[in-house]
Amino acid sequence: MKNTMKNIGMALLSLGIISQATIPVRGNDIFIGTRGPTEHQLDVRASYTEKKDAKGISTRTFAQNDVLKYWNTLVKRAGNELGVFGFANISAYRSVDNGKARSKGFGDLTLGMGPRGTLSLDGGKGGSLHVIGYGKAIIPTADVKTPALGNDRTDFGAGAFLTYLSPNRKFEIDGAVDYVWAGRNSRGVKGMDVLSGGLIAGGQIYDSKKLELRLAGGLNGQIRDDGAYSYGPRAVLRLTPKFQSGKKHGHFELIGDYDASAKNMPKGFGVLGQLRINF
């Protein structure tokens, strides 16, 4: 069991080293590589970020996103699973204020899908590894305004979420990596490709008949193809209420990010709250 945990930890640590030079992957949180208890899930997200560039100009962004997710299990054998994952990230509202002008409206739409799987390690004695892979398209549905609410171009990307869970599921390591190939905007200008990712670790800190609390922390960030980067710490707190029926109807998460270091990119902080509903 110790060797299994060491090998998994080293693999995810390597992912974290690659992604230290990155901004937060918004999907990177607790249990990120696992499927939900039901086939359908809705995330209702609200976030606020404040970034300052090298000229001292601060940009404040408020966003409300709704993320619809679907996953299934096509093959299940001896604790191992294989299935399909799909999602739609709807940027229902964005407000961007740079101190001189403010824009608000609809943001870009992201659609994606790919395989998912679960691997039982040493018959479950070594815990389990959960993986979701995906390809995605970012569609320019944002209102064309200044400051920009979207990218004004179609981008394509690919990535993966990974979660290692200890045998009793009280400890976890979560990793995420994402690469976006930028397209050209309406003026023919190509955007910057971006590699982003992160690594967090933590687990259960409180458990009762009515409530479970989990806490995790680590690093997240991004690096562009021109060498610009930002990275810093991320903290995640999850509150899961327990119902007499035993069903997991959903939970609430609070996520905080801070850019500890940046090169040729705005630097600042962000907070995100999300209500996750299973149905």
CB 132 within 8 A of CB 160: yes
Backbone angles phi, psi at 108, to 5 degrees: -75, 155
14 has pLDDT over 60: no
- Region 238-249 average pLDDT: 89
List, for residues 99-156, the tens digit of each pLDDT value.
999 999 999 999 999 999 999 999 999 999 999 999 999 999 998 889 999 999 999 9
For 23-67, how does the pLDDT look when each residue is reduced to its tens digit (9 = 90+)? Answer: 344 446 889 999 999 999 999 999 999 999 999 999 999 999 999
Give 195's contacts (C-beta < 8 A, 6+ positions apart): 18, 19, 22, 177, 178, 179, 222, 223
The β-bridge partners of 238 are 214, 253
Question: Does 5 have pLDDT greater than 90?
Answer: no
Q: pLDDT (tens digit, 9 = 90+) per residue, 151-182?
A: 999 999 999 999 999 999 999 999 999 999 99
Cα 25 from Cα 268, distance rounded (Å): 15
Radius of gyration of the chain (CA): 19
- The rounded percent of the chain whose pLDDT value lies above 90 is 84
How distant, in Å, are the alpha carbons of 94, 159, 199 from that of 32?
25, 12, 11
Question: In 3D, which of 218, 254, 258, 213 has the Cα closest to residue 9?
Answer: 218
Interatomic CA distance for residues 192 and 161, integer angstroms: 23
Residues 6+ apart with CB under 8 A from 108: 91, 138, 139, 140, 141, 142, 149, 150, 151
Residue 134 near residue 92 (C-beta atoms within 8 A): no
Question: What percentage of the chain has pLDDT greater than the value 70?
Answer: 90
Residue 13, pLDDT score: 36
What does the DSSP 8-state code read for residue 184? Answer: B
User: CB-based contacts of 31: which residues, under 8 Å, 6+ apart?
Assistant: 130, 163, 172, 174
What is the predicted pLDDT for the residue at 164?
Answer: 97
Whether residue 22 has pLDDT greater than 50:
no
Distance CA 24, CA 221 (A): 5
* Least-confidence region, from 12-16, 41-45, 186-190, 239-243: 12-16
Query: pLDDT tens digit string along 78-104?
Result: 999 999 999 999 999 999 999 999 999
Give the length of the chain.
279
Q: How confident is the model at residue 233 (pLDDT cuts 50, 70, 90)?
A: very high
- What is the distance between the alpha carbons of residues 91 and 73, in angstroms, rounded to a whole number? 28
Residue 93 half-sphere exposure, CB side, CA atoms within 13 Å? 8
Q: How high is the pLDDT of residue 25?
A: 45
CA atoms within 13 A on the CB side of 143: 13
Rounded to the nearest 5°, which phi and psi values hold at 13? -65, -40
To the question of pTM greater than 0.75 for the whole model, the response is yes
pLDDT at residue number 262: 96
Provide the mean pLDDT of the chain: 90
State the amino acid at position 249 in one-letter form: H
Which residue's entry shows tokens 């679960």?
A: 118
Q: Interior CA angle at 252 toward 245 and 269, to 5°?
A: 170
SS3 label, residue 12: helix
Q: Is the pLDDT of residue 223 over 70?
A: yes
